[in-house]
Amino acid sequence: MARVFTEAQVERFKREAKKLRHFEPDLTHSAALDRIAAQQGFSNWSLLHRHCECNDPRSVLQSISVAPLPLMFQRTPEEMRQTLRKLPERSDSNRPVSAEVRAQTEDIRGKFVSAVNALDYAIAYMGSLLSVPRFHINASSLANWEMRCWLPYSIHPIADDDDFAQGQILVNRRYKPVGQTSDEWTDYREHTRSHLKLDASQLKDITGNRCRQGYLFNDGSCPWHSRKLSEGYLERLLLLRDILRG
């Protein structure tokens, strides 16, 4: 069920939007509010505000019942900042930090209701990431592994590696359905919620610079490498979502 926000929560969101404008002077007030809304899983501020308890309860309940909310990305700017840091080594664990990071990253592949939902989640994630003033993602951080597992890397053919006409699937950097954290073998045909079908022109539009067909980025343009690359990646995610929504 979709969340219903209290008036206090909505006011806090407004303050967070104000902080964003402090770090990004060129950001308009409405754009800042929309970015905060995206972090909460909504496409814009107006839609988020409809879920405030200060509104008519009947309209809130109606919006929830008509369109159940898919998986939302929820993380405060401070929480996101913490995920960028190296995960501290645990004295009670014999696992290396890299294994600990992987163990703590949730497998969310089964929680997406559609490819569009996975894109909305990724867009909200990137919006939250870019709200952090200092961009630096430690290789042994939770964010580094989350981005490799939770974010779309490629529109990959379901059957043959070169046969896009037979259907496609949204995969992460490890060539697993978006959201999967394990290396276990996966039958692409079974993950229908991540399926999509783009034509050649649409694939060309979302393909990253100097990338193979259908790839949003390559080893030289990974979004975790820099803010500029993250911004370019976010633009392609937004374009892909617009294409899927028609």
200 and 123 in a single domain? The answer is: yes
63 and 80 both lie in a single domain: no
Residue 1 has a pLDDT of: 38
pLDDT of residue 93: 66
Q: Where are the beta strands (DSSP E) in the chain?
A: 154-157, 168-171, 195-196
Range of the domain at 32: 1-69
**pLDDT at position 199:** 94
194/170 same-domain check: yes
Same domain, 150 and 191: yes
Residue ending a domain, choose from 69, 96, 121: 69
Please tell me the pTM assigned to this model. 0.71
For residue 17, the tally of other CB atoms under 10 A from its CB is 21
pLDDT at 227: 96
Closest CA to 113 of 1, 193, 197: 193
Position 3 scores a pLDDT of: 67
Q: Are residues 174 and 225 located together in one domain of the fold?
A: yes
Contact 152, 126 (CB under 8 A): no
CA distance 233 to 231: 5
Query: What is the number of domains present in the chain?
Result: 2
Pairwise CA distance, residues 167 & 146, whole Å = 26
Cβ atoms of 123 and 43 closer than 8 Å: no
29 in the same domain as 91? no
Provide the pLDDT for residue 209. 93
Contact (CB, 8 A) for 59 and 50: yes
* Shared domain check, 236 and 218: yes
Q: Which parts of the chain have pLDDT scores under 70? A: 1-3, 53-69, 90-93
Domain C-terminal end among 16, 49, 69: 69
Q: What local confidence, expressed as pLDDT, does residue 64 receive? A: 47
d(CA 129, CA 228): 12
Same domain? 123 vs 225 = yes
Among 24, 43, 69, residue at a domain's last position: 69
Residues 33 and 74 in one domain: no
> Do residues 55 and 153 share a domain?
no
